[in-house]
Structure 1
Amino acid sequence: HSEATSAFVGPSLISSKEQDLVFKGVAGSPGVAIGQSMVMFPPADFDSVPERTSDDIDADLALFDGAIESVRVDISKVGERLAEQLRPEEQALFDVYIGMLDDKALAGEVQNKIKAGSCAQTALKHVIKDYASHFEMMSDAYLRERAVDIKDLGRRILSYLQERETQTLNFPERTVLVSDELTPTMLGEVPRENLVGLVSIKGSGSSHVAILARAMGIPTVMGLVDVPLSKLDRCEMVVDGYNGDILISPSAEMQAHYATVLNEDKELDEDLKEIIELPCETTDGHRIHSWVNTGLMADVVRSLDHGAEGVGLYRTEVPFMINERFPSEYEQMLYYREQLEA
Structure 2
Amino acid sequence: MQIYSGKSVFSGIAIGKICVYQKSEQQVKRVRTEDGEKEWARYNEAKEKALDQLRGLYEKALKEVGEANAAIFEVHQMMLEDDDYNESIENIIRTQKVNAEYAVASTSDNFSTMFSSMDDDYMKERAADVKDISERILSLLAGGEKGKVVTDEPVIIVADDLAPSETVQLEKDKVLSFVTVHGSVNSHTAILARTMAIPALIGTEMPLDERVDGKFAVVDGVNGKIYVEPDEETFAELKERQREELEKKELLLQLKGKENITLDGKKIMLYANIGNIKDLATVVQNDAGGIGLFRSEFIYLEKEDYPTEEEQFKIYKTAVETMAGKRVIIRTLDIGADKQCDYFKMEKEENPALGYRAIRICLTQTEIFKTQLRALFRASAYGNLAIMYPMITSLWEVKRIKEIVEEVKAELTAEEIEFGNPQQGIMIETPAAVMVSGELAKEVDFFSIGTNDLTQYTLAIDRQNPKLDLFYNAHHPAVLSMIKMTVENAHKAGIWAGICGELGADTSLTKDFLAMGVDELSVSPGSILPIRKIILETNVEEYKRGNYADGETL
- TM-score (ref. length: structure 2): 0.32
Higher relative contact order (CA 8 A, sep 6+): 1
Rg larger for: 2
